[in-house]
Structures are given as C-alpha cells and as structure tokens.
Amino acid sequence: MIKKNDIYIRLLSKDDVTERYLSWFQDDLVTKFLDARNLSKEEVLNYIQNGHKTGSYYIYAICLRCNDLHIGNIKIGPIKRKDGISDLVTVVGDNLYWGKGVARYAIMHAIDIGFKQGGIRKFIASINSLNTSSVKAYNKGGFIIEAIIKDYFYNKINNKIILSDKIFVGCKNKNFDMKLIENWNPVF
C-alpha cells in the first residue's frame, strides 16, 4: 500500500505527455469511466495550455516521491469562481498502482492545494456507481455522498445493457475565503 507521503502532485507539463502517458487514454480499462479517450499529443498539449491561459482548470501529475514516476492525473476544474466551487477529476493511468490508495492520497493533496492556495469553497465530483473504486477513493479522501441520480448511465457490458446511478460527492472548505479564489493563479 502507498502512504500519503509516498506521492505528490505537481502541475502537469508538456514533458509529461509521452507515449506512455498517451497509452493510458487508449486503454479501455483506464478510460472505462472517462470521457477522454484516444487523445493525441497535440490535443493534450492544447488542453493543458487552455487551462493555464483561461485559469478555468489546472491539471496536476500524480507522482511517486521515491522516483518521480508520473502515474496519473488529477484535475482541479472547471473552477466556477463566482460560486467558489470546482470539480475534482482523478485518473490513475498506470494500472500497477490501482488499489493501493494512490487516488485517495492524490485527492487529499488536491484538496489541500485547492483549499489553501486557491480558496476553493467546495469540491464536487460525479461518479458512475459501477466505478466502486472511485467512490471509495473519494470517500476516503474526504468527500461525502451528497446525491444520487438513479439509472443515469446507460452501460453496455458483455452485450447487456446495465443502468447505473450517478453519485455526487462533495467536500467543503471550512476556512473558505472568497478573496483567494478570485485571484488564484498557480505558478507555472
């Protein structure tokens, strides 16, 4: 198992967008619950640049502290500054690190950055109920289930149609300061 101090997050850079990175988004198991699939290097670089330019989202690399290996991403955004809220989206692309607590600790690190540096009032995430690993990771990372929409997702599994729920989780900042979120711009 991984401990919280075994990983860190840092802003994703263009140097992180390697063939290994792109392969994550071509893997059906990694992308099973993602909208992002079969991404090109140009698409990823443009997406990173757009987030930096607009300040509407920031993508962080999830890395192992022992060797700086980039094993996944966590995105803060889109940020709705007027309301002080942001989505938080996590993907562990390197399946050697699935089930080891990586997502939970990345979520904790992102919450810390978003609350302390960005002044985010509340993080939210929506999860397909079939993605039980994500539900557990967000719960262990500090989120609580706030709402469930029944039969939201239409999944085709082994040539059968299975409906699943959309689970909304949230995490509130007890020390919210609107001045921080209005001016937040991480150093690149």
78-106 pLDDT per residue, tens:
999 888 899 999 999 999 999 999 999 99
**Tokens found for residue 153:** 């997702």
> What pLDDT shows up at residue 1?
79
pLDDT of 90: 96
pLDDT lower than 50: segments of the chain: 187-188
Pairing relation of β-strands 160-172 and 85-92?
Answer: unpaired
76 and 57 in contact (C-beta within 8 Å)?
yes
User: pTM of the prediction?
Assistant: 0.89
**List of domains in the chain:** 4-177 (3.40.630.30)
What is the reported pLDDT for 156? 86
**What pLDDT sits at residue 188?**
31
The pLDDT value recorded for residue 187 is 43
Q: What is the dihedral of CA 66, 68, 74, 75, to 10 degrees?
A: 140
pLDDT of 175 reads: 82
Sheet holding 144-157, edge to edge: 7-11, 58-64, 70-80, 85-92, 122-128, 160-172, 144-157
